[in-house]
């Protein structure tokens, strides 16, 4: 793929990537297609890696974290069956890109502003970085970034229709299941440091079920209910 730093070229590359994800059967719905075409990933990637924004790979972020590959963002959005009006909780803000994609689906217009995305980030520096990115791209009216340990859920009693966890846990934190509303869905990578399974959790008629959607690799979930590392800083 040709590398660039010009806005119009980015649009061409974005369209090409979306076509590719449709052909691969990863983008399946019009809602996800529209959001992936609209949100400028290049404005969430650090300057140094901007030219690689539309390569289908994870890219480095400050604090040793990564922005997920576009195909993984699309897989998670499709699995959650996000729709206009959903209230979304994300654990692991990183760059803010995935939160912006979710916001573009659940709250695309003035009329749907009752829905929103709450996103939790462990590192204060990244929460600030993401907020700036979301402001630059005008998603800061629908996406609320909170710097906290999200492994024990959001510091609010609100229930969410959809929950996405973008860092790997050893098991599904009970507190996150509790924040899932009736009929809600959650996606979360569960496993060890090197490889995990993406698990879809569904709450229906008071029952909670789960099934695997396949293998994946995420950075570890830190904090109280996360995966233990050398230094939890
Ligand atoms: N969704 C992001 C990428 C996530 S990378 C994007 O679109 O760019 C995983 C993120 O989870 C990292 O930023 C990491 O700092 C964060 N994280 C790890 N443990 C966390 C925890 N316990 N609470 C909140 N965020 C956490």
Q: Which atom of ligand 1 is nearest to the CA of 101?
A: 7
Which positions ≥6 away from 192 have C-beta within 8 Å? 168, 170, 227
For the cut 50, the answer to whether the pLDDT of residue 231 exceeds it is no
Express as a percent the part of the chain with pLDDT over 70. 94
Mean pLDDT of the chain: 93
Give the pTM: 0.95
What distance in Å separates the CA atoms of residue 104 and residue 97, rounded to the nearest whole number?
Answer: 11
pLDDT reported for residue 139 = 96
Residues classed as catalytic: 68
Residue 224 has pLDDT above 90, yes or no: no
Higher pLDDT, 229 or 62: 62
DSSP assignment of 218-229 equals -PBP-STTS---
* In contact, 207 and 193? CB cutoff 8 Å: no
Give the DSSP letter string of 21-79: HHHTT---SHHHHHHHHHS-GGGTS-GGGGGGTTSSS-EE-GGG-EEPPHHHHHHHHHH
CA–CA distances in Å: residue 231 to residues 92, 136, 170: 18, 33, 17
Ligand 1 centroid distance, CA of 173 (Å):
15
Q: Which residues pair with 196 in a beta bridge?
A: 191, 216
Predicted confidence (pLDDT) per residue in 121-145, tens digit: 999 999 999 999 999 999 999 999 9
Q: Is the CB of 119 under 6 A from ligand 1?
A: no
| Pairing outcome for strands 143-147 and 207-216 | unpaired
Span 95-131, pLDDT tens digits: 999 999 999 999 987 665 678 999 999 999 999 999 9
Percent of the chain at pLDDT > 90 equals: 86
Average pLDDT, integer, range 82-88: 96
| pLDDT tens digits for range 4-40 | 667 779 999 999 999 999 999 999 999 999 999 999 9
Give tens-digit pLDDT for 173-204: 999 999 999 999 999 999 998 899 999 999 99
Q: Estimate to the nearest angstrom the gap between the alpha carbon of 226 and the chain centroid.
A: 17
Q: Is 120 within 8 Å of 84 (Cβ atoms)?
A: no
Structure tokens that stand for 40 in this block: 């400028």
The protein residue whose alpha carbon is closest to atom 16 in ligand 1 is 92
Higher pLDDT, 226 or 204: 204
Contact 153/173 with Cβ under 8 angstroms?
yes
pLDDT at 111: 63
Region 70-83 average pLDDT: 98
The number of the ligand 1 atom at minimal distance from the alpha carbon of 95 is: 8
- What confidence category does residue 56 fall into, taking pLDDT thresholds of 50, 70 and 90? very high
Could you tell me the two tokens for 190?
């569960």
């Amino acid at each position: 793929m040709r590398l660039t730093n010009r806005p119009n070229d980015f649009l061409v590359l974005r369209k090409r990537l979306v076509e590719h994800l449709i052909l691969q059967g990863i983008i399946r719905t019009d809602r996800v297609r529209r959001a992936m075409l609209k949100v400028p990933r290049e404005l969430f990637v650090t300057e140094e890696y901007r030219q690689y924004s539309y390569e289908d790979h994870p890219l480095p972020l400050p604090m040793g974290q990564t922005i997920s590959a576009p195909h993984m963002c699309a897989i998670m959005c499709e699995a959650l069956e996000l729709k206009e009006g959903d209230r979304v909780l994300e654990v692991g803000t990183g760059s803010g890109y995935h939160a912006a994609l979710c916001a573009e689906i659940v709250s695309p217009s003035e009329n749907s502003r009752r829905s929103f995305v709450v996103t939790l980030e462990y590192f204060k520096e990244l929460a600030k970085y993401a907020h700036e990115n979301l402001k630059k791209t005008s998603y800061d009216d629908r996406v609320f970034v909170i710097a906290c340990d999200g492994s024990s859920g959001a510091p609010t009693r609100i229930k969410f229709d959809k929950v996405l966890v973008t860092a790997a846990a050893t098991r599904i934190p009970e507190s996150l299941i509790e924040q899932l509303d009736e009929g809600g869905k959650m996606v979360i990578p569960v496993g060890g440091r090197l490889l995990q399974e993406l698990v879809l959790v569904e709450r229906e008629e008071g029952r909670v079920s789960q099934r695997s959607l396949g293998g994946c690799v995420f950075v570890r979930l830190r904090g109280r209910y996360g995966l233990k590392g050398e230094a939890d800083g």
